[in-house]
Amino acid sequence: MKATCWMGPGKMQVREVPDPMILNQQDCIVKVTSTAICGSDLHLYNGFLPLMEPGDIMGHEFMGEVVDVGRDVRNVRVGDRVVVPFPIACGQCGPCRAGAYSVCENSNPNAYIAEKMLGHSPSGIFGYSHLTGGFAGGQAEYVRVPFADVGPLKVSDGLTDDQVLFLSDILPTGYMGAEMCNIQPGDTIAVWGCGPVGLFAIASAYLLGAEKVIAIDRFPYRLQMARERAGAITINYEEVDSVPDVLSRT
Ligand SMILES: [Zn+2]
Ligand SMILES: [Zn+2]
């Protein structure tokens, strides 16, 4: 199959690599129909995250069709359309049972290295260096998905890839930011940063009951999207002092 491989800082190549196989009976194999590049991929591209190896397959935001399942997989079948969230989670450990899948204790075989660097290890993550397990990512034709009963989210036929792909990372990331604000009806919410996650945070804040969302950035094209696509009031922090401006509008 073909896959986007990291070959060194600033060097990406589409290469011919072996197709993934079921390695554990809880795995499934997904034939990728849509994938995305994340802002976080820039950390790898620019060489800021250690433990990348030449040939590592990029990508932690992807979806597709299940084409093979291990014997022990119950929740997905061959032919299902799924969106795969980026954290790899076992579903059984203490953090997983508490819903904290991103810190699953059973999916990152290199947790001891990540602990030294970060204090606490994240779960395994697709396409995100050997610090998070060295799992092959989704900017590829096929991906092996461990713990297939836990992560993959089945998608009904009426929805297009574009409508659901962002469930793999940036929509829930933005939503979580808004959710953590404990928004009450009538609240004004300020969102710093109008990249994709910021836009989803703005949309989520309105969904959760915010009356007004103020969005702050310095790039005019992003501020325009925040206004026109997400309905925010915008502030360019290179033109005005953003904090007093926000306070004057609340
Ligand atoms: Zn991402
Ligand atoms: Zn777990």
DSSP result, the chain: -EEEEEEETTEEEEEE-PPP---STT-EEEEEEEEE--TTHHHHHTT-SS---TTEEP-SEEEEEEEEE-TT--S--TT-EEEE-SEE--S-SHHHHTT-GGG-SSS-TTHHHHHHHHSS---EEBTS-GGGT-B--SSBSEEEESSTTTS-EE--TTS-HHHHGGGGTHHHHHHHHHHTT---TT-EEEEE--SHHHHHHHHHHHHTT-SEEEEEES-HHHHHHHHHTT--EEEETTTS-HHHHHHHT-
Question: Quick one: pLDDT at residue 85?
Answer: 97
Q: Rounded distance, CA 117 to CA 121, Å?
A: 8
Q: What is the mean pLDDT of residues 162-184?
A: 96
27 close to 42: Cβ distance less than 8 angstroms: no
- Nearest ligand, measured from the Cα of 94: 2
**Residue 23 CA, ligand 1 centroid: distance in Å:** 25
202-221: pLDDT as tens digits: 999 999 999 999 999 999 99
Question: Quick one: pLDDT at residue 13?
Answer: 98
* Residue partners of 125: CB distance under 8 A and separation at least 6: 60, 86, 87, 88, 108, 132, 133, 135
CA–chain centroid gap for 147, Å, is 17
**Residue 95 CA, ligand 1 centroid: distance in Å:** 21
Q: Rounded distance, CA 141 to CA 80, Å?
A: 16
Question: Quick one: pLDDT at residue 233?
Answer: 97
- Nearest ligand, measured from the Cα of 36: 1
- Nearest ligand, measured from the Cα of 41: 1
Across the chain, what does the average pLDDT equal? Answer: 97
**Residue 172 CA, ligand 2 centroid: distance in Å:** 19
Tally of CB atoms within 10 A around 131: 21
8-55: pLDDT as tens digits: 999 999 999 999 999 999 999 999 999 999 999 999 999 998 899 999
Q: Per-residue pLDDT for 250 more than 90?
A: no
- Structural domains in the chain? 2-165 (3.90.180.10), 171-249 (3.40.50.720)
